[in-house]
Amino acid sequence: MISFVNILDGIIIINTMTDIQEQCANIMTLFEKNESEGMKMLFDVMNSYQKKYETKDEELFTQYFRKDTKYVFQVVQEKLANEDLFKEMENEFDENDETDRKDKEEYLNFISNIDHILQFIDTVDLKNPGVEFTYKCNSATEYVKQKNTDMASLNDEMKKMSITLGNLSTLLDNLRG
């Protein structure tokens, strides 16, 4: 069995070529408990998935790529590109706001890309997948990366605000005391 080491945020993750299915199952469970942590784990698995196939190992590629792609993108579809999430987002989009319209268009493209990947992964020529399939895979991955970056940035800002509010609370307590 082939294995590789992936280092993310100082954490060493040892992956075997057959554990993406298990990692995807763990993501599904984690999303139910903590969406933010589930998103981080999904991002980590997507990074591992990409690195795994950057090795240009033809045997590895032909043996695992289709199966791994299905597992990863089925999780992405179920957790990030599902009908319930779309309806929820649809209710929050303001059609008069240019940023909202752009976000909606990007999200709809993302859903379309995921659907395309899952529809054609079993039949695409892996040695020559074509521009469209490759583009849709890369675009879907980049979308998830960007959303993960946005979420991390928001979390950092919330932590800063929490510290500032804590400092303000201490200052107010000292003024009263």
What pLDDT does residue 27 have? 93
Identify whether the C-beta of residue 115 lies closer than 8 Å to the C-beta of residue 92: no
**Of 23, 63, 64, residue with least CA distance to 44:** 23
What pLDDT does residue 4 have? 42
Name the pTM for this structure: 0.73
**Of 81, 72, 42, residue with least CA distance to 89:** 81
What's the token pair of residue 55? 């090795």
What pLDDT does residue 16 have? 46
What pLDDT does residue 33 have? 93
What pLDDT does residue 18 have? 45
pLDDT per residue of the chain (177 residues) written in tens, 0 to 9: 334 444 444 444 444 444 889 999 999 999 899 988 888 898 889 888 888 887 777 887 878 889 999 999 999 999 888 888 888 888 888 888 898 889 889 999 999 999 999 999 999 998 888 999 999 999 998 898 888 788 778 878 888 888 888 888 888 888 887
What pLDDT does residue 9 have? 44
